[in-house]
A and B are shown apart, each in its own frame.
Chain A
Amino acid sequence: MVGLGKMGIVHSCTLNVLPNVEIVAVCEKSGMIRRFSKKIFKEVSIVDDVAKLAEFDLDAAFVTTPIPSHFSVTKALYANNVVRNVFVEKTLADNFEQASELTKLASRSEGVNMVGYLRRFYVTFRKARDLLLQKAIGTPSSFGGYAYSADFCDGRGVSEALVSRGGILRDLGCYAIDLSLWFFGELHLSQVKTSTRGDQSDSVKFEVEGSNGLVGYLEASPFMPDYRMPEIGFLIKGSEGEIVVNDDRVELRPVEGKGSTWYRHDLDDRVPFCLGLPEYYREDALFVDSVMKKQAAEPDFGMAARVDDLIGQIEQGGRNG
């Protein structure tokens, strides 16, 4: 486990309850966290440098450092032959060039690689994707999506913290982008609009185009007071109906016939061990299972690089006005 912040702790705990998994070593930059980690992870080696992990003969590594360091840490893991199987928390990197380089390194390593786009493991988004694959609304023609939170509504610590988390798009918007790519395949950026609060963007809005004339509109903002919990949602329109989906529910509204609504309650949302959200278990279990079976996991670095590519284009589009 490289990086023992919030996500590092969540993954450590989840991995520790999975069968066939043993946490062997933790790499953490902060001296204070390293000192506490030695008390908490009593049988785990704690180091301060990624290169030092090479001595442990590891099967897999999790990179859960802040986004700006994903590239250097992951590159070091491959370069030092620490490990072949790597999980990186979202986003894969800080830009598309870095993400592409990591994708190449991962491919050369011939190991399993995966990026932590947790929303793919929500039962509601899985149900929505199944409905799309079943053509429940015919051919999708347009969609609107959002990634909202109230994280910075009180204005506290906006600039520094948001930058350390990679900005609005990498912190939260990336989930909506990843889901859009998962739902609809290739998308191309067509227009970008941003609004600002002081010297900080407070929302990013952009339009994309897909195949068969599909158009999409997405918005991301951490300044939405009604979103106590971060939330991703979509309204998808097709030739034969609509799907409304968010973190909590999926609604199918066919043009003809009766509609249906499913909450998490209806979609068997339970897991063997739940830490805050059941999705963490599903995500880590999939990665571990893929490593054990030596088979590809999704979303892999290549898929995640497409998210970084779109984010880069949106940021560039925003700067160009």
Chain B
Amino acid sequence: MADRTDKLLLVGDNPFHNISHLSQDRTKLRDRSVVDPSYAAGLVMTSLDNGANGFMFSVSETTLSILERVRNAERIEDLSLFAIVPYAYEYVRLAAQTGGIVGLAKVFSKQLASSGSFRAIASGASGLLGANPVSLLKTYLAYEIGRIKSSAGKHAKIESVLLHEIVVDMALALNLDWLFKAYIDFVIKHEYTPGFNTCNFPYLVDKFNGWGIDPAKVIIAAPFNRIGFEMNPSREECERALKGLSEPCLIAISILAAGYLRPDDAMEYIASLPNVKGAAVGVSKEKHARETFRLFNSKF
């Protein structure tokens, strides 16, 4: 097993969902085996053997299947889990197929009902009837955490539950400080670290400071890379906000700028930044997994 370091070196799940932020063309050229949960679980374990110490994933049927396989291989305890909810793509697609947000609410209600959790059903119904967003959020989070535990098993180390960028950035735009605070309270109560995935890192840090939320007490997953790809409003602003943090809380994502940068170039930049708690990187081949995490482990 790889040596533990202070830094988090996380396997990202984008390739397992066949996502490339460079271009969709690229996903068509990829070997399709990467979306097979057994193959993907093998990649996660190879990454572990070469320096990775965690897995950052959107909670979906694919990633839950991967966790099941890692558990069956008795490696789940080696893995710190950073779960992102919701798997926005699936919900957006469901909304498209079911005629919008009301249709989506109906589908989710059915999913909740079939979960068999009386508490979740009662809380969800109460949230819907009372039009209570916080109650619904808590119901939803409990449902997703239940799914992770069910697949990863009771020995799994869920370190953090992160809100997906779509939810975070919408809530930021609408100044929903009460939603962030309710989320943080709920996640801390379950003894996980609250996390936030955002495409607007400086905006989030500024808002959190204004709302009395200490950014250093949470995990923030945001794009950081040498060419400033997806770093809004600019690389310089993101770096300035990062420097202003009191403690490391950033998990850098998109560090390879979706495959645009070479891993050694990418790592050199990330290693030069202050307040970086870790980085997540996706791998789609055994060779990538070995080389990338060895390099990161040595340089980070």
Q: Which residues of A contact B (CB under 8 A)?
A: 4-6, 9, 12-14, 16-17, 30, 32-33, 35-36, 38-41, 66, 151-152, 156-158, 160-161, 164-165, 226-229, 231, 246-249, 263-265, 269-276, 278
With A40-B176, A265-B229 known to touch, is A276 a contact of B166 (CB < 8 Å)?
A: yes
Whether A161 lies near B27 (C-beta < 8 A) is: no
Whether A6 lies near B101 (C-beta < 8 A) is: yes
Chain B min CB distance to A252 (Å): 16
Whether B174 lies near A41 (C-beta < 8 A) is: yes
Whether B234 lies near A263 (C-beta < 8 A) is: no
Q: Which of A9, A33, A151, A271 contacts B233 (CB 8 A)?
A: A271
Whether A265 lies near B102 (C-beta < 8 A) is: no
Contacts of A32 in B (CB 8 A): 102, 105, 128, 131
B96 located at the interface, meaning its Cβ lies under 8 Å from any Cβ of chain A in the complex: yes
Whether B232 lies near A273 (C-beta < 8 A) is: yes
Contacts of A270 in B (CB 8 A): 228, 230-234
Whether B28 lies near A226 (C-beta < 8 A) is: yes
Contacts of B234 in A (CB 8 A): 270
Q: Which of B24, B99, B133 contacts A227 (CB 8 A)?
A: B24
Whether A14 lies near B98 (C-beta < 8 A) is: no
Which of B15-23, B41-49, B242-250, B268-276 lies on the face that meets chain A?
B15-23
Q: Which 5 A-B pairs have the closest CB atoms?
A: A35-B131, A248-B23, A13-B173, A157-B97, A274-B199
Contacts of B105 in A (CB 8 A): 32
Contacts of B175 in A (CB 8 A): 16
With A156-B97, A273-B232 known to touch, is A13 a contact of B169 (CB < 8 Å)?
A: yes
With A228-B18, A228-B24 known to touch, is A6 a contact of B133 (CB < 8 Å)?
A: no
Beyond A161-B96, A269-B230, A275-B173, 15 additional contacts (C-beta under 8 Å) are A13-B169, A38-B131, A41-B174, A66-B100, A156-B97, A157-B98, A165-B96, A226-B27, A228-B89, A248-B23, A272-B232, A273-B169, A273-B173, A274-B232, A275-B166
- Bound CA–CA A30/B105 (angstroms): 12
- Bound CA–CA A274/B102 (angstroms): 25
With A39-B133, A152-B97, A164-B99 known to touch, is A16 a contact of B200 (CB < 8 Å)?
A: no
What would 25 A/B residue contacts be, using CB atoms closer than 8 Å? A5-B101, A6-B92, A6-B95, A12-B173, A12-B174, A13-B170, A16-B174, A30-B102, A38-B131, A39-B133, A66-B100, A151-B96, A226-B24, A226-B28, A228-B17, A228-B18, A265-B22, A265-B257, A270-B230, A271-B233, A273-B232, A274-B230, A274-B232, A275-B173, A276-B165
B227 located at the interface, meaning its Cβ lies under 8 Å from any Cβ of chain A in the complex: yes
B111 located at the interface, meaning its Cβ lies under 8 Å from any Cβ of chain A in the complex: no
- Bound CA–CA A158/B234 (angstroms): 41
B211 located at the interface, meaning its Cβ lies under 8 Å from any Cβ of chain A in the complex: no
Whether B131 lies near A36 (C-beta < 8 A) is: yes
- Bound CA–CA A56/B93 (angstroms): 35
- Bound CA–CA A16/B203 (angstroms): 13
B132 located at the interface, meaning its Cβ lies under 8 Å from any Cβ of chain A in the complex: yes
Whether B95 lies near A228 (C-beta < 8 A) is: no
Contacts of B233 in A (CB 8 A): 270-273
Chain B min CB distance to A317 (Å): 26
| Number of chain B interface residues as a range | 35 or more
Instruction: For B102, give the chain A residue with the smallest CB separation.
Output: A30
Chain B min CB distance to A187 (Å): 26
Contacts of A157 in B (CB 8 A): 97-99, 103
Q: Which residues of B contact A (CB under 8 A)?
A: 17-19, 22-25, 27-28, 89, 92-93, 95-103, 105, 128, 131-133, 165-166, 169-170, 173-176, 199-200, 203, 227-234, 257-258, 260
Contacts of B132 in A (CB 8 A): 39
Contacts of A164 in B (CB 8 A): 99-100
Contacts of A264 in B (CB 8 A): 229
- Bound CA–CA A36/B133 (angstroms): 7
Contacts of B232 in A (CB 8 A): 270-274, 278
Chain B min CB distance to A107 (Å): 31
Instruction: For A36, give the chain B residue with the smallest CB separation.
Output: B131
Q: Which of A152, A247, A265 contacts B24 (CB 8 A)?
A: A247
- Bound CA–CA A264/B169 (angstroms): 21
Contacts of A263 in B (CB 8 A): 22-23, 260
With A151-B93, A265-B227, A272-B232 known to touch, is A231 a contact of B24 (CB < 8 Å)?
A: yes
Instruction: For A278, give the chain B residue with the smallest CB separation.
Output: B232
- Bound CA–CA A201/B166 (angstroms): 32
Instruction: For B20, give the chain A residue with the smallest CB separation.
Output: A248
Instruction: For B23, give the chain A residue with the smallest CB separation.
Output: A248
Chain B min CB distance to A206 (Å): 23
Instruction: For A13, give the chain B residue with the smallest CB separation.
Output: B173
Q: Which of B23, B128, B257 contacts A249 (CB 8 A)?
A: B23
Whether A17 lies near B173 (C-beta < 8 A) is: yes
- Bound CA–CA A263/B24 (angstroms): 12
Whether B169 lies near A40 (C-beta < 8 A) is: no
Contacts of B169 in A (CB 8 A): 13, 273-276
Contacts of A16 in B (CB 8 A): 173-175
- Bound CA–CA A143/B260 (angstroms): 29
- Bound CA–CA A263/B229 (angstroms): 11
Contacts of B96 in A (CB 8 A): 151, 161, 165
- Bound CA–CA A262/B227 (angstroms): 14
Residue among A16, A41, A161 facing the most chain B CB atoms (10 A cut-off):
A161
Instruction: For B88, give the chain A residue with the smallest CB separation.
Output: A276
